[in-house]
């Protein structure tokens, strides 16, 4: 009796699983009429700068390169207060409202790096980091810059509260006439 019940349940299950497949096979796709043009695919609309997904959040002050990547990540995400925070408290480039206004027409920024030059002095480590920057404006114009950032980290073992992480002391950027990939300086002055 159980064997017959098992066979009947298996047949019923198979029929239920095959019914949708058989129903699809019996339908013929509708052919366009001779007088109607065949439908065409429309390309998907391009994503505007306003609807583009921002890059993934990056906040890493471990090395001069990761700090500068984090700085430009903040710029690309429109997080200007975070970008401003990467500067040393005593070396902020200008008041925050002017800093933020300087990026109001910036759509995106890319950065390439040269080798960091470092040295230690009086309980702090200093680096100079050569960079090339490609800045795309909201109107589509692209400008390439080259220059150097100087960074400082006070010895973490002797710091008190509040702790001050690796920070940008200053940056010097000039417009480059070379292509972006060739604009990274060979080096910077000693930090």
Q: Give 119-161 pLDDT, tens digit per residue.
A: 988 899 999 999 999 999 999 999 999 999 999 999 999 999 9
**Nearest partner of 148 among 126, 125, 131, judged by Cα:** 131
- 51: tokens are 């609807």
Q: Where do the H-state alpha helices sit in 36-183?
A: 64-76, 80-85, 96-101
- 149: tokens are 């950032």
- What would be the CATH architecture of the domain defined by 64-182? Roll (3.10)
Do 61 and 82 contact (CB within 8 A), yes or no?
Answer: no
Q: What does the pLDDT read at residue 162?
A: 92
Residue 95 pLDDT greater than 70, yes or no: yes
Mean pLDDT of 88-100: 93
Q: What does the pLDDT read at residue 97?
A: 97
Q: What does the pLDDT read at residue 51?
A: 58
pTM recorded for the entire structure: 0.71
* Cα–Cα dist 72/57, whole Å: 11
Q: What is the pLDDT of residues 72-85, one digit of tens each?
A: 999 999 999 999 99
């Amino acid at each position: 009796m159980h064997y017959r019940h098992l066979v009947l349940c298996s047949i019923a299950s198979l029929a239920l699983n095959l019914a949708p497949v058989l129903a699809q096979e019996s339908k013929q796709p509708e052919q366009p009429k001779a007088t109607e043009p065949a439908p065409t695919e429309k390309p998907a609309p391009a994503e505007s700068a306003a609807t583009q997904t921002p890059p993934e959040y990056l906040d890493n002050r471990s090395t001069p390169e990761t700090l500068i990547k984090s700085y430009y990540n903040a710029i690309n995400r429109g997080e200007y207060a975070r970008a401003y925070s990467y500067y040393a408290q005593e070396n902020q480039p200008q008041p925050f409202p002017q800093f933020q206004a300087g990026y109001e027409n910036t759509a995106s920024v890319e950065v390439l790096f040269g080798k960091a030059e470092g040295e230690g002095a009086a309980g702090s480590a200093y680096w100079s980091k050569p960079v090339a920057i490609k800045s795309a404006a909201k109107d589509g114009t692209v400008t390439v810059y080259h220059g150097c950032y100087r960074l400082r980290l006070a010895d973490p073992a002797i710091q008190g509260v509040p702790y001050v992480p690796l920070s940008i002391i200053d940056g010097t950027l000039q417009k480059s006439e070379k292509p972006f990939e060739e604009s990274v300086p060979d080096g910077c002055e000693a930090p």
